[in-house]
Chain A
Amino acid sequence: MTFRYKNVYINETGTVVGPEEKKGPLNNYFDKSHDDFYFGTKTWEQAESKLIEEAVDITLGKLEKNRFDMDLFISGDLLNQIVASNYAASTLNIPYLGIYNACATSVEGLIIGANMIEANQIKHCLCSASSHNNAAEKQFRYPVEYGGPKPKTTTFTTTGTAVAYLTYNKKGVKIESATLGRVIDMGIKDAYEMGAVMAPAAADTIFRHLQNTKREADYYDLILTGDLGSVGKKILVDYMYTEYGIELHHYDDTAAMIFDLERQSVYSGGSGPACAPLVTYSYIFHQMRKKKLRRVLLVATGALMSTTMVNQKLSIPAIAHAVSLEVVE
């Protein structure tokens, strides 16, 4: 399922990150970074809510608009019942849609917002995606202070929030088209192999996007998945070629970009709903504004994992949504 848009633009973005991302190679491109995991709050969950509010305020500040100008706030995160988004929405006071597609949440939000703007139902929309390393570790894995070894394939959840302001004004980056993902389950049961879980979903969405739009992979200056990690990245390239005969020449993955994999202890890279949009809205948009990249296909991939289902020995389903982004000339 691929839609095309005539009139949807990302005019402005806001990005806030935590301490580990601050040490990463993209720190100069983020709007704000923190040195601790609490940001003045008492718990990690409350800290994540605070991050969302901050990122929204930064975006609005750049736009010189206030919260009441916004028609819709779309937000999602990793926590149970997407509480970080819900609590942020309760202070923001903007009409709100809470969404969940794990790490594909950011693009899911962009697609929902873009469709409503294209249909003239709303004019100003904020799309947010966030994650918090400690809060996510606590919920999905082991206590943060527990140092048990993890395999090299595991990923490190990013701490941060990325917000995009969508509207009909021709400025910034155009959302040219979008492809909705299907849920793909290739039988991987290991929660530490997220790259392997998500790669086939990303491949399926990229393939269908290219097929529906009758484009070659080289049409894009960059195909960017987020967040397969260094292992998942290799799997995707191999899988795309073996399964569909498509060679990816201009391809990268946000998980491998947000951290320095040699220097930082992050296993195979970053993950979490914030990872893909943090890299895209900061570094990639910067490159697009400089006209070094003109057309980018952003494919956000999400492992729809639940610890309950993993304990019940079920394999992990995954999804990937894609948006085609073009710089406004």
Chain B
Amino acid sequence: MEKNKYKHLVEKHTPKENSIYNGLVAFVVGGIMGVLGQLLIDLYSYWLHIPSSEASPYMIITFIFIGCLLTCFGFFDKWVHFAKAGLIVPITGFAHSMMSAALEYRKEGMITGIGANMLKLSGSVIIFGIVSAYVFGLIRLLLMGG
């Protein structure tokens, strides 16, 4: 059988993902995350008497901490599995990928294990985050003069 023909045969038997359901779950969970984030920003800015722009890093750090902690407790993967992009796209996804890798390699030593592998999944996010920041920063500088 030719490879193209085989591809069609495979497609015929491959179960379809339920994109509408998945999208809806991600939309709702992601939305709740957004509301919680805004709530945290408002609370921090109220408690610490700082403007919202300064309160948002506190919110991000809180989310990272909770994401890491729940990953360590061993059930956050089931939440992520259910909510999909709803928990992966927010900063909790970054924390979860970093922490799960750290847990996985802790038996292989601090440096050769955790240090070398902690950013196995999230390393690309950091690298390309920085790269795109440079690119868009440059575009902004050229078009808008800074």
Q: Which residues of A contact B (CB under 8 A)?
A: 42-43, 138, 142-149, 151-153, 186-188, 193, 196, 200, 231, 234-235, 238-239, 242-243
Residue from A142, A145, A243 within 8 A of B74 (CB atoms): A145
Q: Which of A138, A144, A145, A242 contacts B1 (CB 8 A)?
A: A242
- Whether the Cβ atoms of B84 and A146 lie closer than 8 Å is no
Contacts of A42 in B (CB 8 A): 107
A145–B99 touching, CB < 8 Å = yes
Of A142, A145, A153, most buried by chain B (CB within 10 Å of CB) is: A145
Please count the residue pairs between chain A and chain B whose beta carbons lie under 8 angstroms apart in the complex.
82
Q: Considering only CB atoms, which chain A residue lies closest to B1 in the complex?
A: A243
Q: Which residues of A contact B49 (CB under 8 A)?
A: none
Most chain A CB inside 10 Å of its own CB: which residue of B3, B79, B84: B3
What A residues does B76 contact at CB under 8 A?
145, 147
Contact A187/B15 with A147-B79, A147-B80, A149-B81 known, Cβ cut-off 8 Å: no
Whether B1 contacts A152 by the Cβ 8 Å rule is no
Identify which of B3, B7, B13, B100 contacts A145 (C-beta below 8 A).
B100
Bound Cα distance from A193 to B7, whole angstroms: 12
10 residue pairs of the A-B complex, CB under 8 angstroms, read A143-B101, A143-B104, A143-B120, A145-B77, A145-B100, A146-B100, A151-B17, A152-B15, A238-B9, A243-B1
Q: Which chain B residue lies CB-closest to A243?
A: B1
Chain A hits for B99, CB < 8 A:
145
Contact present for B1 and A238 (CB under 8 Å): no
List A contacts of B13 (CB < 8 A). 231, 234-235, 238
A187 and B100: CB pair below 8 A?
Answer: no
Report whether B14 and A143 are in contact in the complex, using a CB–CB cutoff of 8 Å.
Answer: no
A187 adjacent to B3 (CB under 8 Å): yes
Q: Which of A143, A144, A187, A193 contacts B121 (CB 8 A)?
A: A143
A-contact 0/1 string along B3-28, CB 8 Å cutoff: 10011011011110100001000000
Contact between B6 and A144, CB atoms less than 8 A apart: no
Tell me the count of chain B residues lying within 8 A, CB to CB, of chain A. Answer: 32
Task: Tell me whether B12 and A238 are in contact (CB under 8 A).
Answer: yes
Cβ-closest 4 pairs across A and B = A147-B77, A147-B80, A145-B100, A187-B3
From the candidates B1, B12, B14, B97, name the one contacting A146 in the complex (CB within 8 A): B97
Cβ–Cβ < 8 Å partners of A145 in chain B: 71, 74, 76-77, 99-100, 103-104
Interface pair A235/B104, CB less than 8 Å apart: no
- The distance from the CB of B7 to the nearest CB of chain A, in whole angstroms, is 7
Smallest CB separation, A191 vs chain B (Å): 14
Q: Give chain B interface residues in 1-60, CB to chain A under 8 Å.
A: 1, 3, 6-7, 9-10, 12-15, 17, 22
**B66 contacts chain A at the CB level, 8 A cutoff:** no
Query: Could you tell me the distance in whole angstroms from the C-beta of B25 to the nearest C-beta in chain A?
Result: 10
Contact of B3 among A146, A153, A186 (CB under 8 A): A186
> A140 CB to closest chain B CB, in angstroms?
13
Contact A144 B104 (CB under 8 A): yes
Indicate if B91 sits at the interface (CB-CB under 8 A): no
The residue from B10, B71, B80 contacting A148, defined by CB atoms under 8 A apart: B80
Pairwise interchain contact B6-A186, C-beta atoms closer than 8 A:
yes
Contact in complex: A146, B77 (CB < 8 Å): yes
Chain B residues positioned under 8 Å from A188 (CB to CB): 7, 10
Residues of chain B within 8 A (CB-CB) of A193 are 10, 14
CB distance from B20 to the nearest CB of A (A): 15
Shortest distance between the CB of A197 and any CB in chain B (Å)? 9
Q: Known: A145-B71, A146-B97, A147-B80. Contact between A235 and B103, CB under 8 A?
A: no
